[in-house]
Amino acid sequence: MSTKIRLKRMGGKKAPFYRVVVTDSHNARDGRFIEEIGYYDPTKNPAIVNIDLEKVGQWQSKGAIVSDTVKSLLKRSAK
């Protein structure tokens, strides 16, 4: 089982809202997840990014792979 940290799409049509979740890589994008560790709202100006960096570190130490999009969000939230 490979664990990933990636986005889960929420919200309505043309109003996306994303949750940052830890999930098994075989699950569907919006399917089951292990833990929710943050959220991202691109519809606001400026976009809202709130990610628990401590939990990201814990999951990475357990072998979780961070998706490219979440990596860019982590850089943005670290500023």
Exposure letters 41-78 (e unless 16+ CB within 10 A, then b):
eeeeeeeebebeeebbeebeeeebebeeebeebbeebe
Instruction: Please state, rounded to an integer, the average pLDDT across all residues of the chain.
Output: 91
Domain 3-66 falls in which CATH fold?
A: S16 Ribosomal Protein; Chain: A; (3.30.1320)
pLDDT-based confidence at 17, cuts 50/70/90? Answer: very high
Q: How far apart are CA 73 and CA 68, in angstroms?
A: 9
pLDDT of 9 higher than 80: yes
Amino acid at 70: V
**Does the N-terminal peptide bond of residue 46 adopt cis geometry, omega within 30 degrees of 0?**
yes
**Span 19-57, pLDDT tens digits:** 999 999 898 888 888 999 999 999 999 999 999 999 999
* Residue 78 CA, distance from chain mean position: 15
User: pTM for this one?
Assistant: 0.89
